[in-house]
Structure 1
Amino acid sequence: MYKIKSILYLIPLGICLAAAGCKIPQIVPANENKTMPGSYGFNTDTANSATGDWHSFFTDKNLVSLIDTALKNNQELKITLQELEIAKNEVQVKKGALLPAVGVKAGAGLEKVGRYTSQGAGDASTEIAPGKETPDPLGDFNIGAYAKWEVDIWKKLRTAKKAALTRYLSTIEGKNFLLTNLIAEVANSYYELLALDNQLAVVKENIGLQKSAMDIVKIQKEAARTTELAVQKFQAELYKSQSLEFEILQKIKETENRINLLLGRYPQEITRDEAGFLNQNPTVVHTGIPSQLLASRPDVKQAELELAAAKLDVKAARAEFYPSFDISAGLGFQAFKPSYLFRTPESLLYSLAGDLASPLINRNAIKAEFKSASARQLQAMYNYERTILNAYLEVSTSLSSISNLEKNYDLKTRQVDALNKSIEASNDLFRSARADYFEVLMTQRDALEAKLELIETKKDQLSAVTLIYRNVGGGWK
């Protein structure tokens, strides 16, 4: 009882010593700015496509199958899931620090004291009746339980546990953000593959037209209606198109392998249906209002949780300036002979102690850690504000891209139609010697480039829709 009262007297004494030793720094609040514009321009629709399931957004069954496989096998996603487990275990570590450390121990030893040491001389001078001398060497046997507990007076340990829990929740949002990016990356690579397939078909068709034109030029040369120069020009243009065919084939292989990497499997053919690619209508995406990004974008929620954890770290670092109070206790048996070990009360031992420690002089390390925690808090605040700004700008850019690509695609379609008609006209004029070979070559080249650009624009349209779906926070639910 006397020891317990002494411990209680030490607590206010330690607090007074800590307060006298140095002034504890104040926490500088990190007030983040969450304000956002009320709309993305003129769009004030509150409907948000991010609230739906991604299966209902993507309608191509081959693409859906690829995404499902990626969500099961992607190695980067599996790595992130293990990071989630690590963060969960860190919460358990911090939670365990709040509880007493309890254990059991047992030991055996033997000690022989030198005759001419202070202890040996003292033992020899003691008058002990014959047969009752202290054994030499002297044994030491013990068994018992012990406990140690840091009393969390200043909520330092509880704050650290809460910070770890917040970071675990942040890791979950990081996993969700990876899901949205993975789905978008698979979809964009799939659309790129379809575009390459269509470009390859256009090039092959153009090669056929060039071969037909080449045959006409050769016939006209034999009839002395044109020269060898025209033949070589047509031949060079044919070689260029054939070379482009192999470039596209290589790009197809690279894109297939990129998709296979995302799907976590070795190279194999990607099942797809390239027919009707140019007739695909992009899915309409409802962006909602900007403030919905705070709840729908996983990266925004992750940055918010990281900021909350950083604020808790500052509180835990500030608590290091206060005294720490530890309680230790032990209960067991100890004797110099095994047969005496469990004799009570002679072999019984117990202890109870309280330690109050407060840094008074060398506080530089604690100050440095507090300053570092404060700096990390400001970093997290700026990162949160930057993430919100980036999210808004990404959606705004995607909306502009979709609008401009729609107009661009309409004009490209008209250009291709006009050039297709010009090819027929140039061929007819060339046969009747009313147009030279250079006009035919340029018309075919312009038509090929326009068709390839039309396919590329369609791919950009589909990719832009996928990106805005990701940018508003869709795909992870």
Structure 2
Amino acid sequence: MLKKNQIQSVSILSVFLVLTACKIPAITEKNENKKIPAGYSYSYDTTNSAQLNWKEYFNDSYLNNLIDTALKNNQELNIVLQEIDIARNEISIRKGEYLPFVGLKAGGGVDKAARYTSRGASEANIDIKPGKETPEPLGDMLIGAYANWEIDIWKKLRNAKKASVNRYLATIEGKNFVITNLIAEIANAYYELLALDNQLEIVQKNIDIQNNALKIVRVQKESAKVTELAVKRFEAEVLNTQSIQYNIQQQIVETENKINFLLARYPQPIPRQHQDFEHSVPQIIYAGIPAQLLDKRPDIRQAEQSLMAAKLDVKVAKARFYPSLGISAAIGYQAFNPAHFFKTPESLLYSLAGDITAPLINRNAIKADYYNANAKQIQAVYEYERTLLNAYLEVVNQMSKINNLEKSYGFKSRQVEALTQSITISGNLFASARADYMEVLLTQRDALESKFDLIETKLQQMNAMVNIYRALGGGWE
């Protein structure tokens, strides 16, 4: 007979499950496209500069000290580290949801039923021997343990915990991405500082050249070889160059403080390499193959972990359509008199119950949550593909930029050399009255601009060296 009852119970439960599960709404799923070109147009070599530690990649000890300080003190990085702790705690929360909840309970109180109530009247009419009446008021003391447990039949709770793990791993990759960008930002600002130092030095040298030319013009004016107009034009050019000097000094202050901000400290001088920035040689870059971006780029790894979490969220939302099974149990002692409190089995209480629940009517909230989870999963797919495409394009653009800047720098170097020589030539021609003073001024101005352009090109070269290291995913390991 017991076996027959069990079969009936299973049959009823099966029908119940079919009724609740057959109405799950359909969704349109989307899978990510991980296809990426086998190689870059210029290389299929697997040698990758991103494998170098940043201390090896940047061979400037001053720069390395700045980066090391930033990795310890940067406020944005420290904020991200707290987000990692938050995500780690979320794993513990999710893990606890599929384990039994066990607690202890103790309590006491008194209870007196009103005589003119059904309970009070019934207790008063009970024929009890003298001295054995129900105490009034009636005490109540309880101590025991209780447990509640939702059986994770459909892995709803476990999938939620796995999704939390993926989000935790995504925050770690987010931290790595912050590190990569932080290193690049400091390195770019450092090289900008060196370029400004070099431009300031060029301006100061140019001021000396222009002052010497001004002296010559004044002498020639005294001998009536030139007019006052020439003197004023030379004076104006000197004043203009001096104003450029202070503009550069202001840029130096702002760039130093930009680095100080990244290092989370108040303004102070930035120690740096006092060498000829113009002759700095960029690091030789090896881009490897595009497939290495999947392992090296923290933002791709972060997008991948977020996508995995989003897929699990869809499973969690789908599991809410299915019935949930819960078990509750309790055991302890309860009595109205301390003298009877621990008498067994009279004061012993225990319970064991199971329940199964499932949504049947008005499931709109569950459907909406299911649709939202799927939409977010599709968003995560597009975000992953966009991140992968962006990473590939960044590498291609930076490698092309490195190649073109190298060629451009060669031509600009020759231009600077020619204009530098023309300053001396124009000065000699002017002194012998074979050139106009405007030719001297224009030659000096062109030479200054060409030197500035050369330094700017060198800065772009160094920035490209930094940016390709970041684009390849270097710096965080």
Q: Deviations over 1:296-325 (max 9, x none)?
A: 111111111111111111011100000000
Q: Which residue of 1 aligns with 2:319?
A: 319
Contact 2:50 2:296 in 1 (8 A): yes
**SS of alignment partner, residue 83 of structure 1:** helix
2:305 is the alignment partner of 1:301: no
**Residue type matched to 2:200 in 1?**
L
Q: Which residue of 1 aligns with 2:16?
A: 17
**Shift, 1:6, TM fit:** 8.4
Residues in 2 aligned to 1:165 and 1:436: alpha-carbon distance in whole angstroms? 76
**Shift, 1:262, TM fit:** 1.1
2:374 is the alignment partner of 1:367: no
Pair 311,40 (structure 1): closer, same or farther in 2 beyond 3 Å: same
Q: Which residue of 2 aligns with 1:183?
A: 183
Q: Which residue of 1 aligns with 2:389?
A: 389
Residues in 2 aligned to 1:472 and 1:209: alpha-carbon distance in whole angstroms? 45
Q: Which residue of 2 aligns with 1:197?
A: 197
Q: Which residue of 1 aligns with 2:280?
A: 280
Contact 2:234 2:441 in 1 (8 A): yes
**Residue type matched to 1:314 in 2?**
V
Q: Deviations over 1:416-450 (max 9, x none)?
A: 00000110011111111111111111111111111
2:57 is the alignment partner of 1:52: no
Q: Which residue of 2 aligns with 1:84?
A: 84
Residues in 1 aligned to 2:91 and 2:416: alpha-carbon distance in whole angstroms? 61
Contact 1:70 1:263 in 2 (8 A): yes
Identity of aligned residues (%): 59
Deviates more, 1:234-243 or 1:198-207: 234-243
Contact 1:333 1:342 in 2 (8 A): yes
Q: Which residue of 1 aligns with 2:244?
A: 244
Pair 12,234 (structure 1): closer, same or farther in 2 beyond 3 Å: farther
2:348 is the alignment partner of 1:351: no
Residues in 2 aligned to 1:9 and 1:168: alpha-carbon distance in whole angstroms? 46
TM-score, normalised to structure 1's length?
0.96
**SS of alignment partner, residue 293 of structure 1:** helix
Q: Deviations over 1:82-104 (max 9, x none)?
A: 11111111111111111100000
**SS of alignment partner, residue 443 of structure 1:** helix
Contact 1:166 1:309 in 2 (8 A): yes
Residues in 1 aligned to 2:15 and 2:447: alpha-carbon distance in whole angstroms? 88
TM-score, normalised to structure 2's length?
0.96
Deviates more, 1:50-59 or 1:357-366: 50-59
**SS of alignment partner, residue 91 of structure 2:** helix
Residues in 1 aligned to 2:203 and 2:294: alpha-carbon distance in whole angstroms? 46
Residues in 1 aligned to 2:433 and 2:271: alpha-carbon distance in whole angstroms? 48
**Residue type matched to 1:63 in 2?**
L
Write out aligned runs for 1:50-449 (5 A).
50-449=50-449
Contact 1:10 1:356 in 2 (8 A): no
Residues in 1 aligned to 2:15 and 2:184: alpha-carbon distance in whole angstroms? 60
Contact 1:11 1:356 in 2 (8 A): no
Residues in 1 aligned to 2:92 and 2:13: alpha-carbon distance in whole angstroms? 30
Residues in 1 aligned to 2:184 and 2:349: alpha-carbon distance in whole angstroms? 68
Where does structure 2 lack aligned partners over 5 or more consecutive residues?
A: none
**SS of alignment partner, residue 329 of structure 1:** strand
Q: Deviations over 1:375-434 (max 9, x none)?
A: 000000000000110000000000110011101111110110000011001111111111
Residues in 2 aligned to 1:28 and 1:169: alpha-carbon distance in whole angstroms? 27
**Shift, 1:25, TM fit:** 3.0
Contact 1:160 1:312 in 2 (8 A): yes
Contact 1:103 1:146 in 2 (8 A): yes
**Shift, 1:263, TM fit:** 1.2
Residues in 2 aligned to 1:459 and 1:7: alpha-carbon distance in whole angstroms? 81
Pair 350,213 (structure 1): closer, same or farther in 2 beyond 3 Å: same
Pair 212,429 (structure 1): closer, same or farther in 2 beyond 3 Å: same
Contact 2:110 2:137 in 1 (8 A): yes
Pair 326,8 (structure 1): closer, same or farther in 2 beyond 3 Å: farther
**SS of alignment partner, residue 143 of structure 1:** strand
Residues in 1 aligned to 2:67 and 2:10: alpha-carbon distance in whole angstroms? 61
Residues in 2 aligned to 1:264 and 1:19: alpha-carbon distance in whole angstroms? 61
Q: Deviations over 1:150-208 (max 9, x none)?
A: 00011111111111111111111111111111111111110000000000001111111
Q: Deviations over 1:339-392 (max 9, x none)?
A: 221111111100001010000001111100000000000000000000110000
Q: CA RMSD in A?
A: 1.7
Pair 179,15 (structure 1): closer, same or farther in 2 beyond 3 Å: farther
Pair 45,391 (structure 1): closer, same or farther in 2 beyond 3 Å: same
Pair 13,244 (structure 1): closer, same or farther in 2 beyond 3 Å: farther
**Residue type matched to 1:78 in 2?**
N
Contact 2:29 2:374 in 1 (8 A): no
Where does structure 1 lack aligned partners over 5 or more consecutive residues?
A: none
Deviates more, 1:14-23 or 1:156-165: 14-23
Residues in 2 aligned to 1:164 and 1:269: alpha-carbon distance in whole angstroms? 44
Deviates more, 1:259-268 or 1:355-364: 259-268
Q: Which residue of 2 aligns with 1:464?
A: 464
Deviates more, 1:362-371 or 1:132-141: 132-141
Contact 1:14 1:357 in 2 (8 A): no
Residues in 2 aligned to 1:74 and 1:378: alpha-carbon distance in whole angstroms? 34
Pair 460,448 (structure 1): closer, same or farther in 2 beyond 3 Å: same
Contact 1:14 1:356 in 2 (8 A): no
